[in-house]
Chain A
Amino acid sequence: MHAFANPARFLKIARPLTGWFGWIGVALIAIGLGEGLFVAPPDYLQGESVRIIYIHVPSAWLGMAGWGGIAVASLMQLVWRHPLAAVAARALAAPGALFTALCLISGSLWGRPTWGTYWEWDGRLTSMLVLFFLYLAYMALAAAESERDGEGRITAIFGLVGAINIPIIHFSVLWWRTLHQGSSIGLTSSTIDSSMLWPLLVATVGFTLFFVSIVLMRMRTAIARNRIEARMRRMAQ
């Protein structure tokens, strides 16, 4: 990881990977969602509304993984002062917030025909909503700190502390047994039939690759803007 902390070395690797991850991601999303929408069977209980899981599960995963990435990058920024760590953490925030919002919206649209309600103050739904607000607060804090030319330490500490919410989201369905069902997919086993599982996994990998591509683009943008700012400062002297 330390080897990639150099912006020049990072750019050499990130430039080709941005396109590859983006286009492979788009192809896998098309295959996974196409299969999930038109080929996979309806669920025996949920009926056709089960098709929403092919976008809801990847969104939930990316909302949580995004903050996991922010926490790791924040730790690297605080402990090793890697120049790219703060850039990576900030680049993760907007796409993470987007996918958390998409998870909440798609879950709500799934809940209406399945549960009979758009929203319930259930442990999983509420902790996911808290994650969305954490993203908004993180972005506001990062913007305020960069306006003050701060080092970003407060933002990094907030990124680390906010990670407490990730295990709360994960275990919420066990701690508070309310409306949201328990986990259907584990590391080694799944209760989902393979006809539904493989499009879900393909869509999840596709969205993940596209997410990484977006994060790489945002990191490259931040690095280019830093170069412009540094050049402008030298010219002003």
Chain B
Amino acid sequence: MNPLPFIIGAYAVTLVGTIAMGLLSYRAMRDAERKADGLRRER
């Protein structure tokens, strides 16, 4: 059995999952910190 499609599949799923988790976490952090800082300045 040719293992190449399995290797490509495993790497693709891992990289897409890891990058997506990193980007989503970064965006959520940036938005929340901007909003929190904005409210502090309004005081």
Contact = CB atoms under 8 A, between A and B. Distances in A.
Contact of B29 (A29, A112, A217, A227): A217
A106 B14 contact: yes
Interface residues of A, number: 38
A52 B9 CA distance: 10
A49 B3 contact: yes
Interface stretch (A131-139, A144-152, A206-214): A206-214
B8 to A, nearest CB: 9
B25 to A, nearest CB: 4
Nearest to B32: A224
Interface string A49-60: 101100110010
Interface stretch (A72-80, A81-89, A95-103): A95-103
A170 interface: no
Contact of A220 (B7, B29, B39, B40): B29
Nearest to B16: A102
B33 to A, nearest CB: 5
A110 interface: yes
A113 B32 contact: no
B13 A221 contact: no
Contacts of B43: 231
B17 to A, nearest CB: 6
Nearest to B21: A98
Contacts of A207: 18
Contacts of A59: 14
B7 A48 contact: yes
A118 B18 CA distance: 22
A33 B15 CA distance: 10
Contacts of A37: 7, 11
A165 B25 CA distance: 27
A126 B12 CA distance: 24
A177 interface: no
A154 interface: no
Ranked nearest first, the 8 interchain pairs of A and B with the lowest CB-CB distance are A224-B32, A49-B3, A224-B36, A217-B25, A113-B3, A109-B10, A106-B10, A217-B29
5 contacts: A47-B3, A112-B6, A210-B22, A220-B33, A221-B29
Interface of A: 18, 22, 29, 33, 37, 47-49, 51-52, 55-56, 59, 94-95, 98, 101-102, 105-106, 109-110, 112-114, 207, 210, 213-214, 217-218, 220-221, 224-225, 227-228, 231
Given A112-B6, A217-B25, 8 more contacts: A52-B7, A59-B14, A106-B14, A112-B1, A221-B28, A224-B35, A225-B36, A227-B39
